[in-house]
Amino acid sequence: MKSATRRGLRVRVGCAVVSALIAVGVSFAPGATAADVQSEQWYLGPMQAEKMWKVSTGKGIKVAVIDSGVNPDTPSLKGQVLADEVPKQVAYGATEDYDGHGTTMAELIAGTGANGGILGLAPDAEIVPYRIATGSSLDAEEEKRAPTAMEAVRAAADSDARIISMSFTSPAYEPDFEEVVEYAASKGKLLVSGVGNEGRDSGYIGYPAAYPYVIGVSSIDKKSHVSDFAQSGNYVDLVAPGENMPGYCRPIFDQYCSDMTGTSSATAITSAAAALIWSAHPDWTANQVTRALIDTAGRKWPKDEPTSTAGYGTIRPRSVLADPNYDAGEPYSDPLRKENMQEGEKLVTEIPPASASAKPSAGATGPSQGAAGSSKDKQAAAGSDDAKAVAADSSGDSSTMWIVLGAAAAVVVIGGGAFAVLRAKRAH
């Protein structure tokens, strides 16, 4: 497993003195003091965060952040981290972030912005931290004691957290991990993961984003262009801001970096968007929150023709929060069930409420393995290099960033497994 963030420039917290850090694809440039960090959160204005917060701030929603751990003592996270709710068997190091990545994701979700720190999109949500080994920063003993990603997801599935945010990727398909994801989905959790940073034409598939029941998130920049580094394929469901973000460069937590880039940040922001919606509609199911994200996503192509680079489009939670008449649909009906069907299977349109707690069946077609990808993946990715933004629609958002278009906008959707209770994944 590895984190899905590229590192940027170091910014000293509470001090105007900036030291530079050479990072992948980023040259030396001026940074910002902590007081300026929120100005680097360029997406808050276009998303009209202030207007959304008049309706919802994420209050009452717990988000499990499975990452490098979360430091609960940064100014922006004081009082936001529920370390006591992590089961003892997976609690090792949960509040000891070994590289700053997990703390950054937590702040992007639920940071209060105190002392000029990062202001989360859902500032009243709460974080349940899990530390896994996402890279080479842990020594052998610590890595041995850290829970695996599968163990963390299963523990989160049994917790009160409604959303499981996973800003890490692996190129390997693991049947046991897929079973754990299905278990979490059967418990009513909404799972979100970045699709990975190996490049649009890499041919690699990113897990856990490619597993059924996981919302796979890609990245866009300030101009709504789908990020060149973001992977593509039929497991891309949504896009969110993921470039030029502030974040921690190292686990001393005295500095932010500028220009951090990756699908990790897009994952955290999507998790926060889901928290805003769920907080405003606490009686909704994960299906309904997922449907709301899909229905209101910014796009210029038919909703039933998701693209390989942008999926169903750019997240726009304000469209849900601003519409008191929005119908989230059936609570126990998979919003993507039609496209997930195998040829010859019968479409299930109504599910009795009792099915909500039942474990969904596994799909007949498992995720593709290996680096090559399927012929559909290759076809969908071809010609997608000129992904670009188009004018915003009449939703009232103040930027063109909320509708994204790639050259491969019209993608033929073919069957995967049909899941009666919860959402699943397009075939890949």
Report pLDDT for 140: 83
Give one DSSP letter per residue of 90-145, joined into a string.
G-TTTT--SSSHHHHHHHHHH-B-GGG--B-SSTT-EEEEEE---SS-S-HHHHHH
Q: Which residues pair with 6 in a beta bridge?
A: 261
Cα 293 to Cα 133, 138, 171, 276, 419: the distances in Å are: 30, 36, 26, 11, 19
Report pLDDT for 143: 84
For residue 112, being part of any structural domain is answered with yes
For residue 152, being part of any structural domain is answered with yes
- Report H helices in 197-334: 263-280, 286-295, 317-321
C-alpha to C-alpha distance for 374 and 367, rounded to whole angstroms: 10
Report pLDDT for 19: 23
Report pLDDT for 206: 93
C-alpha to C-alpha distance for 355 and 422, rounded to whole angstroms: 10
Cα 231 to Cα 26, 209, 216, 244, 342: the distances in Å are: 19, 11, 10, 18, 25
Q: Tell me, what amino acid is at 425? A: K
How many Cβ atoms from other residues are within 10 Å of residue 364's Cβ? 12
For residue 75, being part of any structural domain is answered with yes
Of the residues 101, 186, 227, 265, only one is catalytic, namely 101
Sheet strands (E) in 313-384: none
C-alpha to C-alpha distance for 134 and 139, rounded to whole angstroms: 12
Whether the Cβ atoms of residue 224 and residue 32 lie closer than 8 Å to each other: no
For residue 361, give its domain range. 2-405
Residues with Cβ within 8 Å of residue 216, at least 6 apart in sequence: 193, 194, 195, 206, 209, 210, 235, 236, 237, 238, 311, 425
For residue 69, being part of any structural domain is answered with yes
Of the residues 3, 186, 218, 264, only one is catalytic, namely 264
For residue 426, being part of any structural domain is answered with no
For residue 274, being part of any structural domain is answered with yes
Q: Given the DSSP bridges, would you call strands 214-220 and 190-194 parallel, antiparallel or unpaired? A: parallel
Strand, helix or coil for residue 369? coil
| Residue 101 designated active-site | yes
CATH of the domain at 384: 3.40.50.200
Of the residues 3, 67, 218, 308, only one is catalytic, namely 67
Q: pTM value?
A: 0.79
Sheet strand arrangement including 245-248: 9-12, 255-260, 245-248
| pLDDT per residue as tens, the chain (428 positions) | 656 554 433 333 322 222 221 122 222 233 445 557 999 999 999 999 999 999 999 999 999 999 999 999 999 999 999 999 999 999 999 999 999 999 999 999 999 999 999 999 999 999 999 999 876 677 888 888 899 999 999 999 999 999 999 999 999 999 999 999 999 999 999 999 999 999 988 888 899 999 999 999 999 999 999 999 999 999 999 999 999 999 998 889 988 999 899 999 999 999 999 999 999 999 999 999 999 999 999 999 999 899 999 999 999 999 999 999 999 999 988 786 654 443 344 433 333 333 333 333 222 222 222 222 222 232 333 333 334 443 233 233 333 344 433 333 322 222 222 232 333 455 43
| Residue 67 designated active-site | yes
What domain count does the chain have? 1
For residue 157, being part of any structural domain is answered with yes
For residue 421, being part of any structural domain is answered with no
